[in-house]
Structure 1
């Protein structure tokens, strides 16, 4: 009988709450559109009917058990009914939301997730899938405190200033620069891009800094200067040198720069320069003579202390079978000299 009384009280409480909810929905007519309120009311009525049917079935079942003299476990009875009822109601809400999504009615589906299931994340994602980006951003921000997804939604909605404010709070400087550039505010865009460059150079990431200058700010000379700085100061030297040469598209200018930089290269960095020459040799036939000449010079200087460097000759003479034999003979004679 305890469970019967519980169900009766639950039904009474449900009807009272239902009446209050209907009044609350109708009160929204003062500040929302008529059809929006009607839509919310229809959803509530459908859900209320589902709950009423479930309660009625439970009540009938309990009466049958009572009339038959059956007794069930008293300790966990109420908990079982509440849990079972909750699961059934939740399942009905889930089905209703999926039905609305199938019908492409994303706003109603989102209302089910947000208002009835209290699943704010799925509600926001449903709004985003339906391209209601502003509404999704509000849920992400106010209910989930998720600035990142909110900023993405504002960006999709072309609410760039709102997105910029959020990216500033998250200190995503490059993204702030991108959005300023999107709205053609180049002054602010370059201010934030420069912050990114400064951060990269402070962490010795010279290649990344140069890419911001070259691709985002279109400042080619500054990009080259920072790569040259990285090469000279041994901050990721090889990649800086390689990218520096890659940004020179005129072959004659590149050939001149290859010779010019080599003349200023200190002895301890010549092996690194040799590695760079392998790339330049393969780049263009017109560069092969210059790259080979510098490679020969470096190999000749270093062979006394690093005999294995003769193997590098094959990179600059890929089709010369004689050079391979010469390398082999050199290594054989070198080994005999050490044995003797």
Structure 2
């Protein structure tokens, strides 16, 4: 089939399609509103005109190229078909962009979905235009994308639909957040508790404490889980540090520092010493208790961990003499071992 015959046949087939489409639109009047059908007709007319213009342009170009001779019928026809569809696609792209620039996101989405066969861009266009429910339907039914559909339903404040999808996706914290948004505290806490339990099961005690404190507004439960982490050696240092950080009354904090130290096993005392560095800097009122505990730990551990004497400078930052004492101690110890 040569190029001219291909174009002529395409134009004849296109006119048949136009006729069938018009019959279809007339039939739609029986079960859709007049204005909805009119809008669809408007888009169809624009698209039809674009395609005809492209075909006429190609036909004129073909007539002008007749004197140049043939280079192979099959290859030329294939090139012509590709060129034709590329041009039509380009026009569709321009039409969609025109609708977006005019703020008519629904028409733009129809072009992407029906003419360009690009459901994702159709959904994204609707989402960008604030048509979240419509976008969610495409994400869900055309793309099976539950995550983006849930986000759109959430933006549309269709919380029930979003919750159903987040449950399927097992995003428990998000489910809790949306129940909380709906003032359904009971169900919110059920899902937050699941999240906290999952964190505890994975030894992520600090994250579990944040769920209790920030989401469930249960500071006491948050402290319990941090204390559990410290005692059971599950991210122990961070649990201890956060436990102290959550006590805002200085007197109470001073008391807790001493109480916990009494029950601290020998193998965790160096870790406790590290925590005392933070508490020493936190408030001048805590410096005395932090320094005393530090001295006790250093004196207990110095025989087996001689380098621990360096920690003294953290609890005496303005004492230049202690630096010399540390230096003399290390020098004397080194001489002892050499001898």
2:277 is the alignment partner of 1:281: no
Aligned to 1:58: 58
> How far apart, in 2, do the equivalents of 1:273 and 1:69 lie?
90
2:37 is the alignment partner of 1:34: no
> How far apart, in 1, do the equivalents of 2:224 and 2:265 lie?
19
Partner deviation per Cα, 1:159-218 (whole Å, 9 max, x = no partner): 000000000000001101111111011111111111111111111111111110111011
Aligned to 1:229: 228
Equivalent pairs, count: 339
Secondary structure in 2 aligned to 1:249?
coil
Scaled by the length of structure 2, what TM-score is found?
0.97
Partner deviation per Cα, 1:260-304 (whole Å, 9 max, x = no partner): 000000000000000110111111111111111100100010001
Aligned to 1:115: 114
> How far apart, in 1, do the equivalents of 2:108 and 2:275 lie?
59
RMSD between superposed Cα atoms in Å: 1.3
Matches within 5 A, 1:19-98: 19-66=19-66, 68=67, 70-98=69-97
> How far apart, in 1, do the equivalents of 2:68 and 2:175 lie?
72
> How far apart, in 2, do the equivalents of 1:224 and 1:32 lie?
61
TM-fit CA distance, 1:60: 3.1
> How far apart, in 2, do the equivalents of 1:194 and 1:55 lie?
65
> How far apart, in 2, do the equivalents of 1:328 and 1:26 lie?
98
TM-fit CA distance, 1:18: 1.5
> How far apart, in 1, do the equivalents of 2:25 and 2:333 lie?
95
> How far apart, in 2, do the equivalents of 1:189 and 1:128 lie?
27
For structure 2, which runs of at least 5 residues remain unmatched after alignment?
none
- 1:100·1:108 contact (CA, 8 Å) conserved in 2? yes
Aligned to 2:299: 300
2:17 is the alignment partner of 1:17: yes
TM-fit CA distance, 1:36: 2.7
Secondary structure in 1 aligned to 2:237?
helix
TM-fit CA distance, 1:42: 1.2
TM-fit CA distance, 1:9: 1.4
Aligned to 1:198: 197
TM-fit CA distance, 1:77: 2.0
Aligned to 2:163: 164
> How far apart, in 1, do the equivalents of 2:62 and 2:139 lie?
44
The 1:222–1:69 alpha-carbon spacing in structure 2 relative to 1, beyond 3 Å, is closer
Partner deviation per Cα, 1:291-340 (whole Å, 9 max, x = no partner): 11100100010001111001001111111111111111111111111111
Partner deviation per Cα, 1:120-142 (whole Å, 9 max, x = no partner): 11111110111000000001111
For structure 1, which runs of at least 5 residues remain unmatched after alignment?
none
> How far apart, in 2, do the equivalents of 1:78 and 1:30 lie?
42
TM-fit CA distance, 1:65: 4.2
> How far apart, in 2, do the equivalents of 1:24 and 1:176 lie?
44
> How far apart, in 2, do the equivalents of 1:293 and 1:326 lie?
18
2:2 is the alignment partner of 1:2: yes
Aligned to 2:317: 318
Secondary structure in 2 aligned to 1:76?
helix
Q: Which moved more, 1:55-64 or 1:310-319?
A: 55-64
TM-fit CA distance, 1:34: 2.7
- 1:65·1:71 contact (CA, 8 Å) conserved in 2? no
TM-fit CA distance, 1:109: 1.1
> How far apart, in 1, do the equivalents of 2:36 and 2:283 lie?
68
Aligned to 1:126: 125
- 1:238·1:272 contact (CA, 8 Å) conserved in 2? yes
